[in-house]
Amino acid sequence: MDVHASLLSAVGETPLVRLNRVTARLSTPVYAKLEYVNPGGSVKDRAALSMVSAAEEAGLLAPGGTIVEGTSGNTGVGLAMVAAQRGYRCVFTLPDKTSAEKIAVLRAYGAEVVVCPSGLPLEHPDHVFNTAVRIAAERPGGWHANQYDNAANPAAHYRTTGPEIWRQTDGRITHLVAGVGTGGTLTGAGEYLREAAGGRVTVVGADPEASVYGGGDGRPYFVESIGHVLHPETVEDRWPESYRPEAVDRIERIGDRESLLTARRLAREEGLLVGGSAGTAVAAALRVAAEAGPDDLVVVVLPDSGRNYLSTVHDDAWLRHWGFLDGDGGGPVVGEAGSVPIGPRLRPADTVRQALDVLAGPSGARPGREGAALVTVAGTGRPVTGPDVVGSVTARRLREAVDSGAARPEDALSAHLAPAPPAFGVGEPAVEALRALDAARGEVALVLLDGHAHALVDRAALRAVVEGVPGTTAAGDRPEVPRTRPEPAHR
């Protein structure tokens, strides 16, 4: 019989499939390693099995024990699957921005899920990692898998992923491309392939543009599970030991828009329903292939399925809300309304006096519309992204509060914030934004482009575009809100 004695022996040996349509103009073949075919649905099955087996061998995990891990989902599924087979309990800590589908899957395996606030510095006791360490220490028989620093994670890819790719390409691979989360996949498979090929394989990391691995400033981005975010209050940044930068030849930095739209194209043009990190990896692979020759062979790792992201990456309304999609051609969109640049950015800890000074300065003073002079307050002190806008203030309201004694100049701004303005993507219908603004009795809304607060638009400007009158707001003071963006390269 051609059978598996256990589900766990079905981990790995995933297919390597040539990309045909997204690579149409390229002479270099690009092959995708379909890791979502693993029984737990992702590349992390390999690391999970490897880490549990190593812990058992080292006597760190014994019958009746509890596996604890901080995971954004896929490592949890892999560990939960192995735990179910081998009779362990599991507890997972994950950030509150994790998609609802991923959390539901973990619970379906019988795992306990502890949701931690995202956006905390590494030192914070409630950080996902520290919470996992604490729970593992408190539970009898608790073991912290720690995929970030566990050598059995990259070892899984050195032992399985790398050799599979070598065998499947008959040793012809010249470039390996993969995203870097813990770094296990790229480091482990990359080191094996480099050795097997006598150094002839180029190892390329695919990284979100803002991630610090590739030299970004570490501000948040939309693609889940890869890259490295740096919180502004983190004192000492620590990279995972599973990631060995010396094993990587170069990093391709990919913006959120290119990653997300590439993931969509893979579903529509190749029939590959994959997650956002696969979009990042393929976008990087297409760049690599465009520079390579016809005798080269690129392999790109597709870590998980798009089914984990039906309410995000693969949802038009979600993409459009965050400003990643242009209009659907059905009528005027928010991006067509006359808008003004966002004023100066303040932080919640700034004082009322500081805010008034800033608002009185050249960048704060905006002729005419008090609404458009709004200041958005970024919680992280970085370029605002939608979720980071925690409130708003205007010079007029602050001055009134000081005059009436409701606010003191030395108060923190956080005590005197009005709600953040509602936000709409550039491609959302202007009529819907206007309706929502009317319902909220708001004067001004944020315009989101590529996931970032890009400009402010007021009710009059929205109404003008809905009624077909050309943009009317603060002439000469309008940022360019592109209505269409270039498609990712190499269509």
Are the CB atoms for 125 and 149 separated by under 8 Å? no
Q: Nearest approach, Cβ of 281 to ligand PMP (angstroms)? A: 8
Residue placing its CB nearer to ligand PMP in the complex, 74 or 376: 74
Nearer to ligand PMP, 264 or 345 (CB): 264
Q: Which residue is nearest to ligand PMP (CB)?
A: 181
Residue 225 engages ligand PMP in binding (rule: CB under 6 A): yes
- Binding of residue 74 to ligand PMP (CB under 6 A): yes
- Give me the least distance between CB of 367 and ligand PMP, in Å please: 48
Instruction: Pick left, alpha or beta for residue 216 (phi over 0 → left; psi -120 to 50 → alpha; otherwise beta).
Output: beta
Residue 256 within binding range of ligand PMP, rule CB under 6 A: no
304 binds ligand PMP (CB under 6 A): yes
- Contact pattern from residue 273 through residue 292 relative to ligand PMP, giving x for each residue in contact according to CB under 6 A and a dash for the rest: --x-x---------------
Instruction: Spell out a b/e string for 399-417, using b for 16 or more CB atoms within 10 Å of the CB, else e.
Output: eebbeeeebeeebebeebb
Distance CA 41, CA 109 (A): 13
Closest CA to 77 of 53, 51, 107: 107
Binding pattern for the stretch 29-68 against ligand PMP, x by CB under 6 A and - elsewhere: -------------xxx------------------------
Site for ligand PMP in 166-205 (CB under 6 A): 179-185
The amino acid present at 457, given as its one-letter code, is V
- Footprint of ligand PMP on 414-443 (CB under 6 A): none
- Which positions ≥6 away from 465 have C-beta within 8 Å? 332, 336, 337, 338, 430, 471
44 is catalytic: yes
385 binds ligand PMP, rule: CB under 6 A:
no
What are 251's two structure tokens?
């990093």
Note whether 303 binds ligand PMP by CB under 6 A.
yes
- Specify whether the CB–CB gap between 268 and 231 falls below 8 A: no
Phi (first) and psi of residue 197, to 5 degrees: -95, 10
To the nearest whole angstrom, how small is the minimum distance from the Cβ of residue 74 to ligand PMP?
A: 4
Q: Is 228 a residue that touches ligand PMP (CB under 6 A)?
A: no
Where residue 120 falls (left for φ over 0; alpha for ψ -120 to 50; beta otherwise) is beta
Q: Which is nearer to ligand PMP, 142 or 303 (CB)?
A: 303
Task: Look up residue 438 and give its amino acid.
Answer: D
Farthest-apart Cα atoms in the chain, separation: 85
Three-state DSSP class for 393? strand
Task: Tell the smallest beta-carbon distance from residue 47 to ligand PMP (Å).
Answer: 6
Q: Does 350 bind ligand PMP (CB under 6 A)?
A: no
Residue 251 three-state SS: strand
Q: Give the whole-angstrom CA distance, residue 166 versus residue 31.
A: 12
Catalytic residue among 33, 44, 97, 102: 44
d(C-alpha 39, C-alpha 77), whole Å: 10
Task: Report in angstroms how near the CB of residue 304 gets to ligand PMP at its nearest.
Answer: 4
Closer to ligand PMP by CB, 179 or 335: give it: 179
Q: Judged by CB, which is closer to ligand PMP: 164, or 304? A: 304
Enumerate the active-site residues. 44
Residues at the contact surface with ligand PMP, assessed by CB under 6 A: 42-44, 74, 179-185, 225-226, 275, 277, 303-304
